[in-house]
Every structure is written in structure tokens, then in C-alpha cells.
A and B are shown apart, each in its own frame.
Chain A
Amino acid sequence: MTGRNLNFKHRVAAVGAGLTLFRSRMLETPQELAWLAAKQALDEAGLTLKDIDCVVIGSAPDAFDGVHMKGEYLAEGAGGIHKPTVRVYVGGATGVFVPIAAWWHVASGLCRRVLAVAEEKMSHAARPHAQYVFRYIWDPIVEKPLNPNLIWIFAMEMHRYMHKCGVKKEDVALVSVKNKRNACGHPSAQLCMPNITVDDVLKSEVLVWPVQLLDISPTSDGAAAVVLASEEEARRITDTPVWIKGIGWTLDTTHWTNRDLAYPEYVRRAAEMAYRMAGIDNPRKQIDVAEPYDPFDYKELHHMEGLGLAKKCEAPVLTREGVTQRDGDLPINPSGGLLGVGNPIAAAGLMKVAEIFWQVRGEAGERQVKKPVYTGLAQAWGDLMQAGTVVVMGI
């Protein structure tokens, strides 16, 4: 994005959101999960499928649901039949990318009301564990023969971040404690742990040092949906539209081995793109609440810094000081995030967008942050520590 033209013909707003339970081994089929979320979003907007012009679907690897051309399969559950339906994909960052793609469906003037749906069903993907699917995400020639697994490479990243910033495990564990406690206010949450302590995290099973069981989000099944509309339609649908103020995303090189693992440059660039569009020059002051991607506890810190919500290596300090608590000055993941609510990959990302939608509308229930919310941010991360997607929303 060269930013040569920021005068859009059409402003775009979110007018409804929906979320299923996040659980392991849900009985619903992927199509049914998608429909549960889509229906809830439509109901919240007071619309029916007949009102929807276009559908954007997000879902991570086909191998999770075990269906080739998963977008074709999900189209029916996502309300996309007899409509222009497209599935977009940036690995784990897909969830926040779905409303980004939905944004240009509306901003182009070609669709007035768009249903954005993300779904993932990980529990029946592979035995003994969905992690097995990640054996096939590597370069088939130079990496696959080593049989790496995702937790290994994230352990490297966590280690590097801790080393470079001088962060202790105790500091990182505070994120997990905060998010798993926050999740207790969330009706969809899979891992509400009201009494969890830093000690519990530090004593949990070591998976790949320094990653321990409670440092990491669970595998989940679930779906999320958001309805976006043009300005004219949004004002007709609701008195409280939440405007999509900025979108941004970046994909770094495939060669993750050459990356600076201590700082997510690709997230910084994605955020820069979104901030420029939203007119934000001081995110720390102008963002009231954020839902950065937290599949691991250290990733919340990593992403806060990439998003400019904290200076480099400052996120653990803000966390320790309570700034990121739900009643703090900069609430981070008040929903409970992936660590608490669960991580059905693409659906988890879109859940973050739905959470910001509800926060801005003041409809987040027990998760509602104490400070007034004018502007919020959702971010996701994916591929080989490679993709950053950012959406800024506000009144």
C-alpha cells in the first residue's frame, strides 16, 4: 500500500457479530458451526440471509476439517450459496483477515452488506493431536525431513525474546494468568481458570522449553461471524455502527530462519498501514482497548510491541504494573484471548474483531473494560511466524 489515495468512496461499518462456544470435540459439523455464528451475527444486525450480498469465509488449513476446497464445503453453512462467496487465507492470521477482505467488498461499492465468517474444527483433524497437521506446513525439501513441529519454532522465538529483553518466565506467565482469569467473564470460553497463579503456569508440563502447557492456548472447535455494511446501510440497520477505521496486513518471507525472532517487524508494518488509514499517530494513547493475538503468552507481549502499544521490551513491564488488566489504562485481551477463550484458529482471530465490536458498543458484558472505548484494535498472526493482520475499529 503506497498510501497515495486514502479517500474512500464508501465507509464501512460492523453492524452485528456472532460467536459459538469454543470447545474441544464439538458435536456440530463445520458447516453447522459456521451457521450458528452466522445466524447470531445476522440476528444481532436484524438481518436475514436474503439481505446479504456477498460472503467472505476464513478458515486455516483444510487438513483440520479434513475437507479439500474447504471454502466450497463451508459455503452453505456460512450462508454463501447463490452468492459470490470467497475464502481467504493467511494461516493463523486469517481470522482478522476475513473482515479486511470483507472491507473491500463493501468499500469497492460492489457489495452493500457482507457476511464474514470464520470456522475451524481442530479436534477431529488428526490423531493423536491436531498438532500432527503441522507436520506438513514446512518446506518439503529443506525442512520437512527434520520433522519440526510448531511448538519447537515458537519455543525458539520465545527464548529469543526473553533473552533479548531480559524477561523472566514469571513475567511471561503473568499474561497467561491474566487471560485465563479474564475468560471467566466470557460465555464461549473453554479455559476459564479463576484461581490460576503464576506458580501454576511455572509448574505445568514442559512441552518444549521454555514453552509449558499453561503458556499455550488449547486446540478448539468454533466459529465466529461479523456483518459489515456500507455507511448508508449501516445507518439504516443500527444507531450504533462500529466503523472499520483501518486495515493492514503484511506477509514476511517464507524463510523464517532469517527472521529477527525477538521483534515482529511484519506486525509493525501491518499496524503502520492500518494506523495511517485510521489517522493514528500515537497508538499507545489513541487505542483504548486491544485484542492482540495470544496463542502463547509471550506472543501477547511480542505483539503489543509490534503494534506500538508498548516500546520494545516494555510490554512485560506494563503487564507487571497492571496496565493491561481489564480495569487498567490499556486493557489487553479483556475477553480472555486465545489463552482463555480458546483457539479455533481462524475463528479465534475473528472472535477478537467481534470482541472489539462489542467493546466499542459497550455490549461486552462482564468483559467490558472500565475506561470508555472510542477506538479498539484486533490483530492476528500466522504462517511461519510470518503474517500480521490488523483491524482498527471505532465510533
Chain B
Amino acid sequence: MRVGIAGVGWFGFQPEIVDYSFREMVFKAAQRAYEDAGGLDPRRDADAFISCQEDFWEGISIADEFAPDQLGGAMKPVYTVAGDGLQCVGQASMMIKSGLFDVVVVESHGKPSDIATLNDVMFTATDPISVRPLGLENVHAVAALEARSYMSKYGVSEDHLDAVVEKAHEAGLRNPRAVYASLDRKRSSTPVVADPLREADIARFVDAAVVVVLASERVIRDYTDAPVWVDGAWWSTEISTLELHDWSFPVHAREAADGAYAQAKIADPAKEVGFAEVDNRYSFKELQHIEALRLAPKGAAKDLLADGAFCPGGRLPVNLSGGALAEGVPLEVHGLARLSYAVGVMRGEIKAEVDRADVAVVHSWRGVPTTTSAVTVLRL
């Protein structure tokens, strides 16, 4: 059973949304997604709903209690995945492939502007016994260690990071929801946060909600004439023990990608994929993830990027949206943000410089200190 995207809706992508609660943000995004899916009625047409969120981000324990109403899911099958939005897409895909469900709605929302102690919240995701006593005052230091390890192993210089940041901001200028895109933001002129990472290497947070409607091949034409097929959806967790994970290469992204490519029957991603939206919440992560997704050999992404291969109009454009560096990180929404942009490009609703918009790969990572990635392969 093939699974496709019947509708996408988003709301927000603003640094601080003050006039809508998270439930109102989801309601808005859901309304737009249902409209996009040909006026789908969630009370009648949707079989199940999934919310992707985490308690501590919400500031509410058992935050899944607050999932159903704004989606139109009350008194229907609704549940929460404590993970990135792309993991929800993977779950929805499995549910539909099982044959039990035809239409599954996926939601994720993030309102980091409500969180007064973001660093502390992120730090409580570390092991309470082995890491937390270190009292990291800046969790970006964990990413900085990864950056150093990757850069020294594969000969990546700070000039290469400059190029990633510049590309993200240039691409972001064409993306109306990329609030942080700015050509004035030169990496070298921003202060060092945790060496080698400067302020411009680190994506800022943003408030957003995205809703995606997935449907089986059997019913999808009831909702859209232009389905985008989810031909692969996989995820992987490398290890829980931060100190034992591979510091120089995101093994989780490689494992997730290999699973998704196998489902989509893609043997040579660098040739078969038309464009990619990958996680670049840290500049060096874009290079790492390009390699993990087999869009470039290990250590070669920096040179190919310098040659323009991954720029808009290049051989295999990566992050036409500008990615998280330009749009911001909306917590667990990040994967759906990448996905919704890719869907817009594939449908031709977003004018982008890309030769082949028929096959896209979308990736998200859950940020430090996690080692979980999710990858989705989309086809027209």
C-alpha cells in the first residue's frame, strides 16, 4: 500500500508568537492542511491523529492530553510520539500500510519563546548520573565537540562553515517564512559561542506548527489531484550514552537514510535524488548530513558545496529553504518544516532553482544531546 501526502498546513515561523496559544497555532495549521487536502473533514474523514511533542518543551506533564481538540480528533484515535515530526510521518506511514487506516493526520508544534530556561531543559536530556553532574552551562558545547571532531577528521575549515552559513542565508531570502535569513549575517563577524561554533553557526529557535495529512493510495485522490508519495520513512537512534556516540559522524542519520532508501528502492542517492532538505541547526551539521545521506562521499561535502553543487540551481540543491539556519528550529516541528517546504517545491507552489523536483529526501535530527535522526523519501 503506497502512502501519500494529501495536504500540508503551517502556521507561525515567527520568533515569538504572543497572540496565539500553542493550541490555536495547531488549529490554524490544521485548518490550512485540511483545506489543502480538498476540504477534508477531520471528524468524518480522518481515521487517526498523531501529535509529535515532548513534555518538557510544553511545560506540561502528560502534554498529550492537549492533543485532540484543535485537530478535530476528540473521541477518535489520537496519540503522541515523543519525537521529531518525521517520526510521526513514519508512524503514520506504517499505520496506513498495515491496512487498518486510510487517512492519518500528523501534527507538531513548538513554542520555544515560552521557555524561560531552554538551556536547562536541553541539559536535562543528558544522563542524570554520568553527564548531568558536569553542569554544562551551554549545551552547544556538546555540538562544538562534535564539530571539532568532524572538522579535524575530514579537513573541514572555518571557511567551509562560512560558505554553509552564506548559502543558507542566500537561499532563505527567497523563503518567505525564513525570518532569520539575512545577507548581513556574516559568520566571521559574530562572536564565538563554543569554539569553533560562532553565533551564526547555530540556528535560533522559532515558534511554529505544521500539520500534514497522509492518506493511502486507495483514497488519496478523494483529497488531492497531486499527491506527493512517501516512498520511504525510517529513523534510527545511535546510542543513549552521549560519551560513547560517534563524535565525528552522525551514524544515526546514515542508518535512517539507508532504511528510507531501501524502502524507496534508491540505490544511488547522489544520482537519483533531485534535491534535499536536511538538518542544519549547526552549520557543520549540513555537511555531515549531506554525507550521512550519501549525497556526497564522507569528507567531500565541503568541496562540493564550495563548487556550488548543493546551491540553488546546483547539481543537487540542499536546503532550498535555507534550512534551520534561516527558518529557525521550531523544536519537534523541525522535520515537518523541512518536509512541508519540500512538498511545496515538488508541487511547484514554491518557485525554486531545481532541475529535478520529482524525488526529494528530507532529514531531521533531534538536536543535542540526542543521537536520533529521521529520514523521509518523497516522490511525485
Q: Is the CB of B77 within 8 A of A60?
A: no
Binds A, one of B59-67, B289-297, B311-319, B339-347: B59-67
Q: Is the CB of B98 within 8 A of A81?
A: no
Q: Is the CB of B99 within 8 A of A9?
A: yes
The reply on A140 being an interface residue by CB < 8 A is: yes
Interface bin, chain A: 35 or more
Question: In whole angstroms, what is the CA distance A298 to B160 when docked?
Answer: 65
Q: Determine the residue in chain B with the shortest Cβ distance to A60.
A: B62
Question: In whole angstroms, what is the CA distance A315 to B122 when docked?
Answer: 47
Contacts of B80 in A (CB 8 A): 88-90
Known: A1-B48, A71-B83, A255-B69. A383 touches B64 (CB 8 A): yes
Shortest A138–chain B CB gap in Å is 8
Q: Mark A297-322, 1 if CB is under 8 A from B, else 0.
A: 00000000000000000000000000
Contact of B74 among A134, A136, A251 (CB under 8 A): A251
The reply on B82 being an interface residue by CB < 8 A is: yes
Contacts of A1 in B (CB 8 A): 47-48, 77, 100-101
Q: Mark A66-99, 1 if CB is under 8 A from B, else 0.
A: 1111111111110011111111111100000100
**B window 222-274: CB within 8 A of A:** 234-241, 251, 255-256, 259, 263
The reply on A273 being an interface residue by CB < 8 A is: yes
Q: Is the CB of B121 within 8 A of A250?
A: no
Q: Is the CB of A68 within 8 A of B61?
A: no
Cross-chain pair count, CB within 8 angstroms: 205
The reply on A243 being an interface residue by CB < 8 A is: no
Contacts of A250 in B (CB 8 A): 75-78
Question: In whole angstroms, what is the CA distance A105 to B128 when docked?
Answer: 31
Binds A, one of B89-97, B177-185, B200-208, B320-328: B89-97
Known: A69-B366, A72-B240, A251-B67. A97 touches B76 (CB 8 A): no
The reply on A269 being an interface residue by CB < 8 A is: yes
The reply on A156 being an interface residue by CB < 8 A is: no
Known: A62-B54, A84-B235, A108-B97. A89 touches B64 (CB 8 A): yes
Known: A1-B47, A89-B81. A251 touches B76 (CB 8 A): yes
The reply on B124 being an interface residue by CB < 8 A is: yes
Shortest A239–chain B CB gap in Å is 26
Question: In whole angstroms, what is the CA distance A5 to B78 when docked?
Answer: 19
Q: Mark B36-77, 1 if CB is under 8 A from A, else 0.
A: 000000000001100000111001111011111100011111
Q: Is the CB of B68 within 8 A of A251?
A: yes
Question: In whole angstroms, what is the CA distance A276 to B75 when docked?
Answer: 17
Q: Is the CB of B235 within 8 A of A86?
A: yes
The reply on B136 being an interface residue by CB < 8 A is: no
Q: Is the CB of B98 within 8 A of A103?
A: yes
Q: Determine the residue in chain B with the shortest Cβ distance to A135.
A: B61
Q: Is the CB of A67 within 8 A of B125?
A: yes
Q: List 18 A-B contacts (CB under 8 A).
A: A1-B77, A2-B102, A63-B61, A66-B124, A67-B124, A72-B371, A75-B372, A81-B237, A81-B238, A84-B235, A87-B82, A89-B64, A134-B61, A250-B77, A251-B73, A252-B75, A253-B68, A383-B62
The 9 closest A-B pairs by CB, nearest first: A76-B240, A107-B98, A108-B97, A251-B78, A108-B94, A253-B74, A68-B125, A68-B56, A61-B61
Residues of chain B having any CB pair with chain A under 8 Å: 47-48, 54-56, 59-62, 64-69, 73-83, 87, 90-91, 93-95, 97-102, 121-122, 124-125, 127-129, 218, 234-241, 251, 255-256, 259, 263, 366, 370-372
